[in-house]
Chains A and B, each alone.
Chain A
Amino acid sequence: MTQKSARIGVDIGGTFTDIALDLDGTLYTGKVLTNYSQPEQAILDGIELVCHRAGIKVTEVTTVIHGTTLVTNSLIERRGARTAFITSEGFRDVVEMRTENRFEQYDLNLTLPTPLVKRTDRYTLNERISASGEVLTDIDPTELNALVKTILAEGYEAVAVGFIHSYANDVNEVQVQKAFAEAAPELCVSISSHVSPQMREFQRFNTVIANAYVRPQVSDYLGRLVKRLTEMGITCPVFMMHSAGGLISVDTASEFPVRLLESGPAGGAIFAAKFAASYGEDQVLSFDMGGTTAKICLIEDGRPKTANTFEVARTYRFAKGSGMPLSTPVVEMVEIGAGGGSIAHVDDMKQIRVGPKSAASEPGPACYQRGGEDPTVTDANLLLGRLDPDLFAGGEIPLSVDMAGAAMSTKVASKANLDKEQAAFGVTEVVDENMANAARVHTVENGKEIGNFTMIAFGGGAPLHACRLCEKLDMDYLVIPPGAGVGSAIGFLNAPFSYEATKGMYQRLNNFDPIRINQLLADLREEASAFVKRGAGSIDTTTRVQAFMRYTGQGGEIAIDIDYKEYVAADVDVFRQEFEAGYYKLFGRTIDGLGIEITNWSITVASKVQASAPMTLRRSGQQVAVTKTREFFDAALRKVVTANEVHRNTLKPGDAVAGPAVIVEDETSTVVTTGYTVVAQDDKSMLLVNKKTMETL
């Protein structure tokens, strides 16, 4: 018997732990309930489940790839270690003063999120580095030793160190780390110049604190996981998915757990990116809608858009600024409080509002009959005929149209002077409008026209809403891939080994210094390669370099891709040209007479992944005979239409069903509006095509 490749992806989410097994190219998937007290138990159960389905022994598993929301939850629920923070004298309150603004202008009773480390646990040292990296004030060893003693005496479980301008020179932070290593080698000490060497103290300090705060817990958990797997006979390598959409070793993850924060959603983006690459679609918008939130990500040239900062643990209606901004590489997503469980109400202007409050899974929407009394998006979908009451969650949760109707009547229809159906339509239309607006703003911010994008939709709620979103956004093509319910776990299986090393180094182009740049790039590449090697060994890699540049005087940078090579003085023109081209692409113009500067640098070293087999999308197909119909409310037509109903399993490649149609499957249903036709693809995806576009093909 030849040796099999049996790779497993496991995604621990808020409600379910999803598992995907790729056995020599065949996919087996499963879902088990997340076990909060022993998260690793759900993984072990899930692995047994999918191995059983695939007919292999667990000992035959060759790789386990893991992503989890547990790190994020630990930050949101404040369940991390008791952490001390050491910073430069004069800057004790950076993480408390935040940006000095209110993220909601009209709320007089606004509260701001409290820092992870309270003031009494924040210590200062008299030291100072200048903006250019020069040491202005050396650490006094006596003061340092006294501080180390104080912190050890207090019995902290973790220590974070963040000094002003340490991204430019780590000498003082390293000195503190060494002092602890000598005095208490077992104590976890995280320093900002290693965790997140980027300019901007608020984000960098938050990042090093978050890292220290979750580190003992994550490292315990990963240790336990590897041990339990070994006990089960699974001795293959285990890797972790990181927020930027790549894999790192368990050791690296234990040292820099802040890099795991968005690992689940990153898996979803990789999942969508694989389809995008396979179809050769170079402008894709991924849309992932679950019970509480919807996430949107841009995927260009088969690569999810990444960023170096993001905000975790938003505390106020998902409002920008209400969370904890971190500087760590991440797949860039827009998240809004819109999901199946989002609750609808009517405000004082008699207008319907939806979310961000969610009925979640307990008590759930009114139609679940579990005590939920508020009308939700799922209730509205049920009332509009878009959900089959007997087929929800494979028939496991019978839905009550009466309960949904009662909630909609009392809480929305009567207050907004609408009939029940109009109210339900209003609820779905408002939530679709909210998601469409968020998607449009996101593309505008990136200087793109959304109508040119193809949407790839996954997650439980997306197939119900995606087609309407495409109508609103003038998008002609929508892909609903197979396995969309466990998309993130499948995505893990397609991720490369990768590590992004970043560093703040400020340089104006009129003081272009190729020697410093070459040195920095070489250092960053070595750092990133070492981490990749830890996971993947010596394999073929690619190197991507980004310089974060702006006009002098501007506040925000744009990421400019540059080659990895030795630069010489004359290359200043290359930087200028690349910046101007990038600026033009985003903003439609360049500005003469202004200086250009570089603030941060990033190098990503990634293993080469097997290219997805190219596949040509079938943009039209042969209409199949339909025997069953049902009625649903078509939002664009503002009326009930008689729709074709087809089970997804019965569709063969090239089959087409003209909208209005509902394509049902165990986990969800895809609504095809009157304006679209669905075409089954060779890889079991479905492509929804705008009928008008189809006519012009």
Chain B
Amino acid sequence: MKLSNVDYQIMWNRLVAVVEEQATTLIRTAFSTSVREAGDLSAGVFDCRGRMIAQAVTGTPGHVNAMAESVPHFINEIGMDNICEGDVYLTNDPWKGTGHLHDFTMVSPAFHEGNHVGFFAATAHVVDIGGRGYGPDANEVYEEGLLVPIMKFIHAGDVNKDLVNIIRNNVREQDQVIGDLYSLAACNAAGDARLMDMMKEFNLAELETLSDFIIDNSRAATLSRIKDLPDGAYHNDMTVDGYESSVEMKVSLTISGDTLLADFAGTSGPSKFGVNVPMVYTRAYACYGLKCAIAPDIPNNTGSLKPFDVTAPEGCILNAPHPAPVSVRHVLGHFVPDVVLGALHKCIPGVSPAEGASALWNILLSARPLDPSSGLPPSEIMMFNSGGMGARATLDGLSATAFPSGVSTMSAEATEHVGPITIWQKDLLVGSGGSGEFRGGLGQTIVISANEGYELYFNAMFDRIKFPARGREGGKNGGAGSLVLDDGTVLNGKGRQHIPAGRKLILELPGGGGYGDPKKRSPELVRADLEAGYITLEQAVNDYGLTN
């Protein structure tokens, strides 16, 4: 059977279905809350040269591109002549995987009739990796937990029991962590089985012709989008809270013909704490932000990702080298799209939204019994929460919605069954959306306390408390975030802190920036916003100029 153009297209569709099935298998069987509830995972298929051909559409852009870059590292370190049928490799090296120790990337070579034809890779966030636990307080990556360099998890069908034993002895929640490693291997196997069906159906002996077809088409489409952009150099900078001092993020976007370079030269140096970002993660989010604006419809693969060239000087906070602490690299990583979209706005106005809350306000609460002899069990409770998105050129920003991350929140009722806490409030924060012709999305208020007999500790990893999201084209800034106790105690945006028994933690999540002059917003919309309690009377009068 000679394969036609239509056949190649069908196989492309099929590969996308194959990796979706791979991802579905992982979501169904994973223990990690962030994988299951939030889609904090990635799954993809690669050719023998380590080029990604297809990737599942999942919740976290941070894994996109990051995982795409990981397979060549595996090929280098394992060695082509050391790849056997039945092998599975893994690492959680932040610089060769997806940016922090909590993410394991698992790579399985695919064999067809005894010949090596490609790879499957999957990444997932595990529940624990030892060390200090998930939080920003470490000063070196060594404190953040166990680093497993690229090695074989399974050799020709035999599990590396020594490795499993080492991991088991270095993490909390051993069963769940080890269980997730097997889930990763199993999801690659599920993808592999489906790939073999496809190769049989289409009588393929190799994948390289198909990967050329996919990558060349995607690359050509992406290059033509870049070529349509006006040539020039576009700059932007943005300041955010950071940990011990504020962080300036700078980018120069240079577009020339069909090339595009985002260079973060001028960005602040590294932090002493775990908010540093490995280059691979910076590149992933820069690429995501640009791709949303320029080529949202082109599927992720090496062909569509490679044209986005991203660099940052080594040693800056967005290209932090080993052994910098990187545990909560997502905070600054989530700001990267705002930075590049701000530069892109100068190139093609009207596409980039205003800045938003952007960094997730994830809380990991540790509930501890006041009296250790009471027999009350300790408990860890994870919550994902989002502030407001920036307004768009023709639309209001989305309230309490994650961007650039794609995670979901959990039900408050379900969360209260996980551990001994009561969530007293979780609703929109009035007046937190930046005023504008198009209003920024609202942040939210969350109020939490420990139930009787318990006190709480938590790792703060919150930003936009000192530096709120800025508006665009005359739009006002979004509301800043805050965290306090109900007795008025002001808490820090970063680091481990205490909520005494009987006290309530009050989180106010930042809102998104407005877009365009608020005076241009129609008075009917302003009145409706005021009546609904989205904006305050003061904003209606002062920002929007409402007179009656």
**Hey, which bits of chain A sit against chain B, CB under 8 A?**
89-94, 96-97, 99-102, 105-112, 118-120, 128, 130-131, 136, 164-165, 199-202, 347-352, 416-418, 422, 425-426, 429-430, 433-434, 437, 440-441, 444-445, 474, 506, 551, 553-556, 586-589, 591-594, 599, 638
Contact = CB atoms under 8 A, between A and B. Distances in A.
Interface string B34-69: 001100000000000000000001010100000000
Contacts of A202: 411
B20 A441 contact: yes
Contacts of A592: 175
Contacts of B29: 587
A107 B409 CA distance: 20
24 contacts: A91-B427, A94-B426, A99-B408, A99-B409, A100-B384, A100-B407, A101-B407, A110-B398, A119-B532, A119-B534, A130-B416, A164-B412, A164-B413, A165-B416, A352-B9, A422-B6, A425-B6, A433-B10, A433-B13, A444-B21, A591-B179, A593-B174, A593-B175, A638-B4
B52 to A, nearest CB: 16
A555 B33 contact: yes
B30 to A, nearest CB: 9
A613 to B, nearest CB: 38
B21 A91 contact: no
B9 A426 contact: yes
A102 B398 contact: yes
B444 A97 contact: yes
A418 B6 contact: yes
A136 B422 contact: yes
Contacts of A506: 417
B401 A102 contact: yes
Nearest to A122: B532
A100 B409 contact: yes
Contacts of A131: 413, 416-417, 422
Contacts of B399: 96-97
Contact of A90 (B14, B220, B409, B425): B425
Nearest to A124: B427
Contacts of A349: 217-218, 220-221, 298
A348 B179 contact: no
Interface in B210-230: 217-218, 220-221, 224-225
Nearest to B29: A587
Given A96-B428, A120-B532, A348-B297, A594 B406 contact: no
A111 B426 contact: no
A433 B14 contact: yes
Given A91-B425, A110-B398, A120 B408 contact: no
A107 B389 CA distance: 13
Contacts of A97: 399-400, 409, 426-428, 444
B427 A556 contact: no
A351 B221 CA distance: 11
Contacts of A92: 427-428
A333 B103 CA distance: 34
B392 A101 contact: no
A619 B407 CA distance: 49
Given A92-B428, A101-B402, A108-B292, 12 more contacts: A90-B425, A94-B427, A100-B385, A108-B353, A164-B412, A201-B411, A416-B5, A437-B13, A587-B28, A589-B182, A591-B175, A638-B4
B355 to A, nearest CB: 13
B426 A91 contact: yes
Contacts of A440: 17, 21
Count chain A CB atoms within 10 A of each CB in B398, B407, B410, B423 and give the residue with the most.
B398
Contacts of B392: 108-109
Contacts of A422: 4-6
A165 B423 CA distance: 11
Contact of B14 (A119, A128, A437): A437
B293 A108 contact: yes
Contacts of B425: 89-91
A201 B413 contact: yes
B351 interface: yes
Nearest to B64: A105
Nearest to B30: A554
Contacts of A437: 13-14, 17, 20
B243 interface: no
Contacts of B10: 429-430, 433
B33 A553 contact: yes
Nearest to B216: A349
Contacts of B426: 90-91, 94, 97
A418 B406 contact: no
A307 to B, nearest CB: 15
4 A-B pairs closest in CB distance:
A90-B425, A106-B296, A437-B17, A131-B416
B250 interface: no
Contacts of A445: 24, 28
Nearest to A637: B1
B175 A112 contact: no
A83 to B, nearest CB: 16
A165 B5 contact: no
A594 B398 contact: no
Contacts of A93: 400, 427-428, 444
B268 interface: no
Contact of B6 (A109, A429, A441): A429
A200 B414 CA distance: 6
Contact of A201 (B24, B412, B444): B412
Interface string B10-26: 10111001001100110
Contacts of A110: 398
Given A91-B427, A200-B413, A441 B400 contact: no
A347 B353 contact: no
B533 interface: yes
Contact of A101 (B33, B408, B412, B531): B408
A553 B413 contact: no
Contacts of B394: 109
A312 B264 CA distance: 45
Contacts of A347: 297
A506 B419 CA distance: 13
